[in-house]
Amino acid sequence: MLTERQKSILRMIVDDYVRSAEPVGSRTLSKHVELGYSAATIRNEMADLEALGYLEQPHTSAGRIPSQAGYRYYVDHLVSQDVALRAKDIEEIKQLFATRVSAFEQAAQQVAHVLSSLTQYTGVVLGAKVYDTTLKSLQLVPLSGQSAVVLVINSAGQVQNKTVTIPDGVPMHDVMQLTEMINRALCGTPMYRIRSRVYEELMREVARHMEDYEEASRLLDQILQVTEEPQEPNVFLGQATNMLLQPEFQNIHKAKSVLSWLEKRDEVLVSLATNALHGDLRVRIGAENEVESLQDCTLITTSLHIGQIPIGVVGVVGPTRMEYGRVIALLRTLSSGLSDVYGRIYSGHSSG
Amino acid sequence: MLTERQKSILRMIVDDYVRSAEPVGSRTLSKHVELGYSAATIRNEMADLEALGYLEQPHTSAGRIPSQAGYRYYVDHLVSQDVALRAKDIEEIKQLFATRVSAFEQAAQQVAHVLSSLTQYTGVVLGAKVYDTTLKSLQLVPLSGQSAVVLVINSAGQVQNKTVTIPDGVPMHDVMQLTEMINRALCGTPMYRIRSRVYEELMREVARHMEDYEEASRLLDQILQVTEEPQEPNVFLGQATNMLLQPEFQNIHKAKSVLSWLEKRDEVLVSLATNALHGDLRVRIGAENEVESLQDCTLITTSLHIGQIPIGVVGVVGPTRMEYGRVIALLRTLSSGLSDVYGRIYSGHSSG
DNA sequence: GTTAGCACTCTCACTCATTGAGTGCTAACA
DNA sequence: TGTTAGCACTCAATGAGTGAGAGTGCTAAC
């Protein structure tokens, strides 16, 4: 348990270091008006904080910098719970949500972008699969030759499509009958249950009506694949290269490591997706990220939701030396704004 | 006009410099067996080549490096027209096209990826709008409440969709009638002509049949917007951060400049799209790129086509010190491979 | 418990000499 | 006349040495 004085010294060191990226010395701190102690006193406290593992010294004659444990303590106990956002931040966020967007993708991309430009870190948005959607409609539009487009629309209005080949032995009216049967029997079925319900309920009928059962079921399989195709990952990145402006990424190898990781959308996806398991807002500092490339980074994520249902994640990736308070405030604001947009677009425009 | 000896010296300097990224000295060159001259002779020729603007000296006591004009001369006159690809390259390309893909997007992404990993530059693929597509089918699927999904399928099997709001004054049977009218009248119409043909031919009929003309035309407008929405840019990037391994991008500012540019997909799109105007294969060296961020880069592009119709672009972005011969060979191979895939997927599977 | 003072440590920036790669020029050679 | 050997010269890179400055830890005094 830290004393109040230790806490305020730790807080000041973190704040100062986050701003300047330079180790903070005792003299610098003693100049702060709020702290009415001499450099020597502060030095003693700093030595204690270092012994406790909250501070580190790059070398003997340098000031102190926060350790990862120090950041962790700061985030858990010291960060002011509601940082007032800067006027500029508020202005940009207002403008962002003022522009009418017609698709969640647009809004998500813009949010990622704004996060990056306001913070100089990288904003990320994961528009996860909308949970619990059901089949709204399945359509098949013939193209020239043997090919056709299969369209699957779910109850959230999302569309999946794929070009399929109609096997030789299946006449057009069988194709049409097949899609009709599916629509009639399976409308309203949860997407993940479609295949099993087809096997349970539809196969016998297919066998009875189709001219060439084997070919027809081959077509049916292609159609079912469309319903099972995972929604595209929907990972949106802000301007990742902004981070190259941060002093910690002047080292090209560190920079490459993080930027390469961000390039692999599916890995980013996994890291973001685990947010859902950890409640509202999650801060992962340095080694708390399992990912090798993020050992010197902090990843802060918060979830998007409509009512109680989680539907996505908004986050920020940056160096461990991060403006925690401000980023958290930004994330809270933006995630609730984006949740609203999502709700408006996918819930029948009920609120506007 | 250069003498044969000057040409071979220039070629050797380019080849050597591309490999080593170090200025090439006269002694190094004189060691080459093919060139039976002493260092002094080569020095004289190098001085001449520098006077002609094909070589540069970083400083007095360094070797020579090719100038942008030097690279230009190399590309125009010296690059061997058909470099034999390495066994490893061929292997990877074969594997790439052996894996069956069901969508052009997948194949394009993979090609960009392979280009990046084989070259350590950045591969880019632009899947441009399929030209001259016509309307195949327009459908409207009602969701809950007032919203519905509009689906537009074109003759190439591409699908565009968007959620629209059905205005209060339009009853469902009017909605259905509207889509029916469009399908009946406009099937086969080139996409870019749909709006004008609606105005020319359909408006009167709409006015006659709809209960609330004003609201109906508002809905119609939303629907037409879907047909006009530009196909999403379809710019695919390989691993851009690979380039951070190149010596010229150890300078973080140069690196940021190029990577930031690559992040702006719409700018990349423009640069690639202009390839179509310049024939088969285009090499833009350094200042030949209008783009500020690419002043030290080379952009090589080649077009994808089905028969004579251009349908996209494949390219590579890298430093001016580029393996021109190999990259050109790779691009030719990959673009023709990708054209085939495109053809297979969007032309009714005629070839398999 | 707090502070002033002092010796000590370490990085950073600067200078300077050395090294080595490479050039240009000149004179000799075929 | 074209080619080559030799030599003086230039310049970047390297590494050692130095002083300044920032910061610490410790001790003794308040």
Which of A101, A130, A151, A350 to mutate to test binding with chain B, by most B CBs within 10 Å of its CB? A151
> Is the Cβ pair B157, A149 closer than 8 Å?
yes
Question: Does position A59 have pLDDT exceeding 60, yes or no?
Answer: yes
Q: Which nucleotide is nearest to A62 (CA to C1')?
A: D23
Confidence of residue B260 (pLDDT cuts 50, 70, 90): very high
- Write the class of the CATH domain A87-130+232-346: alpha beta
Q: For chain B, what are the domain ranges? A: 4-78, 87-130+233-346, 135-228
As a rounded value in angstroms, the CA-to-C1' distance for B67 and D15 is 33
pLDDT of residue A52: 95
Q: Please provide the distance, in angstroms rounded to a whole number, between the alpha carbons at the two ends of chain B.
A: 51
Tokens for B95? 């594997």
Kindly list the residues from chain B whose CB atom is less than 8 angstroms away from the CB atom of residue A141.
Answer: 136-137, 139, 153
Q: How far is B70 from chain A (nearest CA, A)?
A: 30
> Rounded mean pLDDT of B59-87?
92
Closest protein residue to C4 using CA and C1' atoms?
A40
Q: What mean pLDDT is reported for chain B? A: 89
Q: Are A125 and A111 in contact (CB under 8 A)?
A: yes
Residues A14, A36: Cα–Cα separation, whole Å: 18
Question: Does position A64 have pLDDT exceeding 70, yes or no?
Answer: yes
Name the phi and psi angles at A233, rounded to 5: -50, -35
Identify the DSSP state of A36.
Answer: -
- The DSSP annotation for A99-117 comes to S--SSHHHHHHHHHHHHHH
Q: Which of residues 104-143 of A touch B (CB under 8 A)?
A: 136-137, 139, 141, 143
> Rounded mean pLDDT of B152-174?
85
State whether the beta carbon of B61 lies below 7 angstroms from any atom of strand D.
Answer: yes
Residues A146, A35: Cα–Cα separation, whole Å: 79
Q: pLDDT tens digits for B208-240?
A: 888 888 888 889 998 998 888 766 668 999 999
pLDDT of residue B130: 62
**Which residue is it, tokens 């030719």?**
B332
A-B CB pairs within 8 A amount to 108
Nearest by Cα to A189 from A228, A229, A155, A230: A155
Residues A199, A184: Cα–Cα separation, whole Å: 15
> Is the Cβ pair B159, A151 closer than 8 Å?
yes
Interacting residues of B287 by C-beta distance below 8 A, sequence separation 6+? B68, B295
Q: Which nucleotides of D are covered by protein (CB under 7 A)?
A: 3-6, 9-12, 21-27
> Rounded mean pLDDT of A268-276?
87
Q: Between B36 and A252, name the one with better pLDDT.
A: A252
CA distances from B125 to A264, B104, B210, B259, B274 (A): 17, 11, 46, 16, 13
User: What is the amino acid identity at position B58?
Assistant: P
Confidence of residue A325 (pLDDT cuts 50, 70, 90): very high
Confidence of residue A128 (pLDDT cuts 50, 70, 90): low
Q: pLDDT tens digits for A246-269?
A: 999 998 999 999 999 999 998 999
> Rounded mean pLDDT of B284-292?
96
B241 touches chain A (CB under 8 A): yes
State whether the beta carbon of B40 lies below 7 angstroms from any atom of strand D.
Answer: yes
pLDDT of residue A147: 81
For chain B, how many residues are written?
Answer: 352
Residues B96, B111: Cα–Cα separation, whole Å: 8
Q: pLDDT tens digits for A6-35?
A: 999 999 999 999 999 999 999 999 988 777
Lateral strand order in the sheet of B135-142: B135-142, B147-154, B159-165
Q: What is the CATH number of domain B4-78?
A: 1.10.10.10
Q: Which nucleotide is nearest to A22 (CA to C1')?
A: D22
Tokens for A242? 């902004």
pLDDT of residue A102: 67
Closest protein residue to C5 using CA and C1' atoms?
A40
pLDDT of residue A210: 86
Positive or negative, the Cα torsion across B59, B64, B68, B69? Answer: positive
B102 touches chain A (CB under 8 A): yes
Q: Between B94 and B350, name the one with better pLDDT.
A: B94
Confidence of residue B351 (pLDDT cuts 50, 70, 90): very low
Q: Between B232 and A271, name the one with better pLDDT.
A: A271
> Is the Cβ pair A245, B256 closer than 8 Å?
yes
> Rounded mean pLDDT of B244-255?
93
Q: Does domain A135-228 have CATH number 3.40.720?
A: no
As a rounded value in angstroms, the CA-to-C1' distance for B62 and C19 is 15
Question: What percent of chain A lies above the pLDDT cut of 70?
Answer: 94
State whether the beta carbon of A57 lies below 7 angstroms from any atom of strand D.
Answer: yes
pLDDT of residue A301: 97
Rank B31-45, B59-73, B223-237 by mean pLDDT and report only the highest: B59-73
> Is the Cβ pair B149, A159 closer than 8 Å?
yes
Confidence of residue A187 (pLDDT cuts 50, 70, 90): very high
pLDDT of residue B141: 86
Q: pLDDT tens digits for A188-230?
A: 999 888 999 999 988 888 888 888 888 888 899 989 988 887 6
Question: What percent of chain B lies above the pLDDT cut of 70?
Answer: 94
As a rounded value in angstroms, the CA-to-C1' distance for A34 and D22 is 23
Question: Does position B349 have pLDDT exceeding 70, yes or no?
Answer: no
Q: Between A309 and B208, name the one with better pLDDT.
A: B208
Helix runs in A151-302, H state only: 172-186, 194-197, 203-209, 213-228, 252-263, 265-273
Question: What percent of chain A lies above the pLDDT cut of 90?
Answer: 59
pLDDT of residue A154: 84
A244 touches chain B (CB under 8 A): yes
Positive or negative, the Cα torsion across B27, B33, B38, B40? Answer: negative
Q: Are A249 and A258 in contact (CB under 8 A)?
A: yes
Name the phi and psi angles at B222, rounded to 5: -60, -40
Q: Which of residues 148-167 of B touch A (CB under 8 A)?
A: 149, 151, 153, 155-157, 159, 161-163, 165
pLDDT of residue B182: 93
User: What is the amino acid identity at position A104?
Assistant: F
Which of B102, B120, B143, B235 to mutate to test binding with chain A, by most A CBs within 10 Å of its CB? B143
pLDDT of residue A231: 66
Give the CATH superfamily of B87-130+233-346. Answer: GAF domain (3.30.450.40)
